Amino acid sequence: MRELAAALHKEALLQWRTRVQLAAIFVFGASALLLFSFAIGPNSAALRLHAAGFLWLALLLSSTLSLAESFQSEMEQRAFEGLLLLPASPLALFYGKALSNWLQLVLLGVGLVPVMVVLYDAGTLRLPGLLGVIVLGAAGLAAPGTLYAAMTAQARAKQTLLPLLLFPLVVPVLLAAVKATSLLILGDPMEQARSWALLLVAFDAIHWSLCGLLFGRVVED
C-alpha cells in the first residue's frame, strides 16, 4: 500500500509536469469529433443518433496517444527499471500507472462531452449517469491499455502495435459504452443503460485483476 501511494505520488508529479500534453490530446480528440461529423454530413438527426459512437471512437483514438505517452517518460532513461530495482513491486507500479491513465481518460472523456453536445446536438440531463459510463468505460481502456503500453514501449513500431493489440480487446467496452451513452442521450424507456453498465463493471473487474497479475512478467526479465 505504501508503494502504491509512492507510485501515485510519482504519477501525480509526472501528470502535473506534462499537463500540456493532455491538452494537446484533448484537441486531437475534439478534432476527431469534428472530422466524424464531416463523414456523416450536416444531417442533424443522423448526427444525434450516432453521437455516442463518435464520442467513444474519439476517446479510443485519443487513448492510444495518452497511453503511449504514459510510458515514454518511464522508458527513455530506464526510470521504470530504476524503481523496480529499489525494489518496488510491479503490482504497485502497474496500479499506480493504470489509475493515473484512468484519470487522464476520464478527464478527456468529460472534456469531449461538451464538444459532442455542441457539434451533434446530443445533450442529456442525466449527467451523473453519463459520468458513470465515462468512468467505467475509461477504466476498461486504462487497464489493458497500461499493460500493452508497457509492452509496446519496448518494442519496435510502437505507434502501430499499441492500437493493433488494444482495439480488438476493448470491443466489449466500446459496445457497452456506446450503447449506454446512446441510451442516455436518446432516451431509455426500458432502463437498459444499467445493464450495459454492469457489463462494463464485469469487464473492468476481470481486466484490472488479470492485467495486474501479468504485468510483472511483462516488465521483468
Partner 1 sequence: MEATGICRRYGRRWAVVEVSFTLPEGSALMVSGRNGSGKSTLLRVLATAIRADRGTARVHGLDLRADREAVRRRVALLGHHSNLYEALSALENLQVSARFLGRDPGRRALGALLGEVGLEERADDAVATFSAGMRKRLSLARTLLQEASVVLLDEPYGQLDPPGFRLVDGVVSRLRGQGATVLMATHQIDHAAALCDHGLVLEEGRVAWRGRAADLPAEGGLVAVGLPEGASA
Partner 2 sequence: MAEPLPRRGPGPALAFVVLGTLLLLAGSILGLAVAPPENFMGDVQRIMYVHVPTAWNAMLAFTFAFGCALLFLFQGGWKWDCRLEAAVEVGVFLAVLLCAQGAIWAKPTWGVWWDWDPRLTTTAVMVFLFTGILALRHFVDDPLKRATWSAVATIIAFVDVPIVYFSVRWWNSLHQLQSSPSTVSSVFHLPLRLNAFGVLFLMIGFITLRTRTAGLRLQGELAPPLPEPAAAPGLVPTRAGA
The residues binding partner 1 (CB under 8 A) are: 2-3, 5-7, 9-10, 13-14, 17-18, 73-74, 76-79, 81-88, 221
From 104, 134, 97, select the one nearest 25 (Cα to Cα).
104
Residues 170, 128, 181, 48: what is their CA dihedral angle, to the nearest 10 degrees?
-140
Residues 173-202 that bind partner 2 (CB under 8 A): 175-176, 179, 199, 202
Asked if 72 is part of the footprint of partner 2 (rule: CB under 8 A), the reply reads no
CA distance 182 to 105: 19
Backbone dihedral angles phi then psi of residue 142, each to the nearest 5 degrees: -70, -45
- Least gap, CB of 167 to partner 2 (angstroms): 7
Q: Are 125 and 150 in contact (CB under 8 A)?
A: no
- Site size for partner 2 (CB under 8 A): 31
CA distance 4 to 113: 31
**Is the CB of 15 or the CB of 186 nearer to partner 1?**
15
Cβ-based burial of 180 (10 A; exposed 0-12, middle 13-18, buried ≥19): buried
- Least gap, CB of 106 to partner 2 (angstroms): 21
- Least gap, CB of 15 to partner 2 (angstroms): 26
**Is the CB of 79 or the CB of 210 nearer to partner 1?**
79
31 binds, among partner 2, partner 1, none (CB under 5 to 8 A by kind): none
**Is the CB of 90 or the CB of 145 nearer to partner 1?**
90
